[in-house]
Structure 1
Amino acid sequence: MSRVKKVLIVGGGIGGLTASVALARNGVDVSIVELKSEWTVYGVGIIQPTNALRALHGLGLAEACVAAGFPFPGWRILNSEGGLIADVPNLNSAAPQFLANNGIPRRALHQILVDTAQSAGVQVRLGVTVKELESDTEGVSVSLTDGSVEQYDLVIGADGTYSKVRSLLFGKTPTPTFTGQSVWRYSFPRPKDMTWASIWYGKQTKAGLVPVSEESMYLLLVTAEPGNPRMPDDRLHTLLRQRLSEYSGLVAELAEQVTDPKEVVYKPLETMMLPQPWHKGRVVLIGDAVHATVPHLAQGASIAIEDAVVLASMLDTEEPLDAVLTAFAQRRYTRCKFVVDSSFQLGQWELQEWAGHPAADADFAGLLRRAWDRMTEPV
C-alpha cells in the first residue's frame, strides 16, 4: 500500500475504529481524532446480522463479539398481547460458522474495537477534531481544533450523521431528515428462556426485545412523534411507560421496571444518503457520514463496518488514489442506498398503518425477506 502510508480517521465510533484496525493491519500508520474528551458510548446494544459477522470475521473480531454478546437465530413475531404470530429464522449464509445474528452491548463492542486498535498501534487523540482540510495531489494538510497542523496521505471522515468532514467537503447539503418516528431503548436483565429476539406489533407502536449477553437484553419501542418534539430528560421514563401502555405480557411487566430517566435512550430517527462522489481530493467519507439509516433492518452499524473493511482492502493497491476512492463509492453506493431506502420505506408504511390508512402496496414481509437475502450477498 505504497500510495497510502499515513491516514487520519476523524471519528472514533464503530466505522472509524473498524477502519483503523483494518488499515493498521495492512501496515498503515493510523491516527484517530475523536471530538469527545471522554470516550463514552451512548446506547444500549447493537445487532450484528450475518453480513456484519462476515466482515468482522475477516478481521478476526467476530469470535470476540460473539463471546461478549448473545447469538440468536432470528425473530419471534408477536402481537401486543404476546401471542405468537410466527418464528422467522434469518439466513446465516454470509457467516455460516455463526448463528444469523449476534446481539452485543454497545460498550462491549466499543471495548473490543478500542483494544484491538490500540494493540495494532493506532494512535488516538480525544477532545480533538478537524477544523480545516487542504488537499492536493501529494497529501492533506489538516488543521485541528487544538491548533496543530499535520500532514496525511488520506483522511477518512467517519464522524457520523452530522459529519464535520462532510460539511467541509460538500457544504451543508444534504442534511439529515427526520422520518416522523423515534426509538426508545432501555436495558434489563435477560430472562433465561429468551433465546430469540422478538418484535411485538401494537396498533400504534412497535416494540422489540433483543438479547445482548448472557446477563442482559434491551427493550426498544418505535413510536410516531409528529413534529419531532423535544422530550424532557427528567420525564423520559414516564413517557416511555405511557407509550408502552397498549402492551401486555412480558412487555407490560418490563414497562413497570422503567424507573430511571437517565437509563432511557431516546433518539429521533433521521435518514440521509449522500450522492456520489463520497470523496474530494484525498478525503473520503464512510458510515453514517454518507448513509445514515433508521434501524428497521438493523443494518446501520453493519454497513459502516462493511465500508471500513472494503475501503481498507481497496487501498491495498498501486492504483491512483482518486480512482480507488471513486471505485469504492461505486462499489458501496447501491447496497447502502438499498438499506437506507428500504429501512425508510418500512418506517413510512408503519406510520401509515398506525394512522389508520395502511398503504395499498405495503409488503412488510416481502421487503424484509428481500433485504435479508440481499445482505447475505458479497460486498
Structure 2
Amino acid sequence: MSNGNVLILGAGIGGLATAIALSGAGYGTTVIEIQPSMHSSVYGVGIIQAPNQLRALDAIGCARQCVEQGYPAKFMNRVYDRDGNLVRTVPGPKIPGHDFPAMNGITRPRLHAILTEKARSAGVVIEYDKTITDIKQFDDRVEVGLTDGSTRTVDLLVGADGVRSVVRNHVYDVPPEPRYTGKSVLRINIPRLPEMDAIVRQEGRNANGDRVGVGMVPLAEDLGYLFVNIVHDRSVRPSTDELREMLKRELAGFGGPSGVVRDRYVDTGEEIVLRPEEWVLGPAPWHKGRVVLIGDAVHAVTPNTAQGAAQAVEDGIVLAECLSGGRPVEQALTAYTGRRYERCKLVVDYGYKARRWEFHPTPDFDPQEMGIRMRQSLVEPI
C-alpha cells in the first residue's frame, strides 16, 4: 500500500536516487525530466565518487554496480608539481564497517544507466520531454501543471532540478541566486594514463599569472578525463576550436601527465566541455508546505569539493527516512532540513572559500588541509 504519491522534477543523480529511496519507503514515485531521453539528460563526462557517496548509494542498492563499472582507487589523490614530479599521495577517508575504495571514478552515462535501471525496477515512473508549468499548493496536496497539458495531483513535490531550479521559486519568497566563483572548468575524456591510479593533480600558473589547477580522474581501465580550472569571463562562449586552443594554452609549460595530455590528446575528436563554477545555499527550511528541494536546487557546491552528487544522494536517503517516520509532512520536512543543513553548509563553504583563496591567498586558510578535514568529517553518518 502506497504511503502517498511523490512527483520529482529532474532525472539527474539526485532526483533518481531520491526516487529509489522514496519508492523503497512505500511511496508511489514519478520523475519528470525536461530532456527527451536518458542519454540527453546526462551532463558532463565523468564523476568522482567519494566513500560517503558510495555509502549513500549502497543504501539504495547501487554502490556495488558503480564500483564494478567504474575505477576503484586505493588512494584519493596523487599530487605532482608543475614539472611532473610526484610530491605526495593523499589517502582517502575510510568509513568504519565498509570496504569502499578511497575514490571510485565512473562515467556519467554508466551511473545514470545504473540509477535509471534501479529506479524502474523499484516501480518508479520516469517521464521525459516535459517539465512543470504551474504549481498550486493546498493543505493536503500539490497540483502541478505540465507542458504536455496534463495536471498531476500529488502529496509531495520534490525539486531536484539543479542550480537553475524553477521549483526553488515556489519555496522562497526571495530565492537565493547562484553565485559565480570567477572560475570555469574545461573537461575532456582521455585514455587513462599509467599515473592515473588515483586522481592526479597538478598546479601551476598560465602566461597571465593566473593559478591553473589540473586534474585527471580514472573512469575505467582504459578511460579517464582531464579537468582544468581556469579564470574565465562566463559571458564569453568559445567555439570548439577555441576551446582546444584555450586548453592547450592553459596547459603550456606543464610537464608530466598534463604535458602528455596536451601533446597527444587535446586535438582528438573528443568533445571539450566548459562549465562555470557556481554555488548556492538556501536558508532553512528547504521546503514550503508540500514542496521541498534537494541537491543543487538548494545547496550547489563547487566541483573542487567532489561532493555535489554525493550530497544530493544523501539528501534523498535522509528525505525518505524522515518521511517514513509516521510524522506529519511539515514535521518530516523540517526534520529533513535539520539533518542536512550543517553538513551541506560545510561543503558549500569549503568549496567557495577555497576558490576565493586562489584569487586572494591568506595565511589563515590552507585549502589542502581544509579539504582533508572536510572529507574526513563526511565519514560521520548522514
TM-score range, shorter chain: over 0.9
Percent identity, aligned pairs only, is 40
SS state at 1:230 partner: coil
**CA–CA separation in structure 1 for the residues paired with 2:297 and 2:159:** 7
User: Bigger CA drift: 44-53 or 364-373?
Assistant: 364-373
Contact map agreement 1:53 1:95 (CA 8 A) in 2: no
How far off is 1:59 after superposition? Answer: 1.4
Q: CA deviation at 1:309?
A: 0.8
Distance 1:28 1:65 in 2: 25
Check the 8 A contact 2:171/2:286 in 1, yes or no. no
Q: What is residue 250 of structure 1 aligned with on the other side? A: 257
Instruction: Please point out which of 367, 372, 377 is paired with 1:374.
Output: 377
Deviations 1:304-360 (A, max 9, x none): 0100111111111211100110111111001001100101111111223xxxxx323
Cα-to-partner distance string for 1:270-315 (whole Å, 9 max, x where unaligned): 1110001111111100000000110112001100010011111111
Match of 2:177 in 1: 175
Structure 1 stretches of 4+ moved >4 Å: none
Q: Which amino acid aligns with 2:258?
A: V
- Name 2:208's counterpart in structure 1: none
Does residue 20 in structure 1 map to residue 27 in structure 2? no
Out of 361, 365, 368, the residue aligned to residue 364 of structure 2 is 361
Give the TM-score, by structure 1 length: 0.94
The residue type equivalent to 1:185 in the other structure is R
TM-score normalized by the length of structure 2: 0.94
Report the residue type matching 2:345 in the other structure.
K
Secondary structure of the corresponding residue to residue 326 of structure 1: helix
Candidates 78, 81, 91, aligned match of 2:83: 81
Q: 1:183, 1:221 within 8 Å by CA — same for their partners in 2?
A: yes
- Residue equivalent to 2:344: 336
Match of 1:230 in 2: 237
Counterparts in 2 of 1:283-294, with a 5 A limit? 283-294=291-302
Contact 2:189 2:270 survives alignment (8 Å): no
Distance 1:369 1:308, change over 3 A: same
Structure 2: gaps (5+ residues): 206-210
Per-residue CA deviation, residues 109-145 of structure 1 (Å, 9 max, x unaligned), is 0000011111111111111111111112211111111
Tell me which of 191, 202, 208 is aligned to 2:215. 208
Structure 1 residue 262: Cα displacement: 6.1
Q: CA deviation at 1:243?
A: 1.1
Q: Deviation at 1:261? A: 7.1
Distance 1:12 1:94, change over 3 A: farther
The worse-fitting range, judged by mean Cα deviation, of 84-93 and 284-293 is 84-93
Judge conservation of contact 1:159–1:289 (CA < 8 Å) in 2: yes
Change (3 A) 1:94 1:360: same
* Partner Cα distance (2:201, 2:151) in 1: 50
Match of 2:246 among 230, 239, 242: 239
Give CA deviations for 1:226-256 in whole Å, capped at 9, x if unaligned: 5653333442112111111131122112112
Aligned partner of 1:112 in structure 2 is: 114
Does the Cα contact within 8 Å between 1:8 and 1:31 map onto a contact in 2? Answer: yes
Contact residue 288 and residue 304 of structure 1 kept, 8 A: yes
**C-alpha distance in 1, partners of 2:96/2:266?**
37
Q: Within 5 Å, give how 1:1-379 maps onto structure 2.
A: 4-39=3-38, 40=40, 41-72=42-73, 73-93=75-95, 96-170=98-172, 173-192=175-194, 194-203=196-205, 204-226=211-233, 229-256=236-263, 257-260=265-268, 263-352=271-360, 358-379=361-382
C-alpha distance in 1 between matches for 2:275 and 2:174: 22
2: distance between equivalents of 1:287 and 1:30? 18
- Alignment size in residue pairs: 373
Kindly state the Cα deviation for residue 95 of structure 1 after the two structures are TM-superposed.
6.3
- Asked if the contact 1:233/1:261 (under 8 Å) is kept, the reply is no
Change (3 A) 1:236 1:260: farther
CA contact (8 A) 1:135 1:281 kept: yes
Where does structure 1 lack aligned partners over 5 or more consecutive residues?
A: 353-357
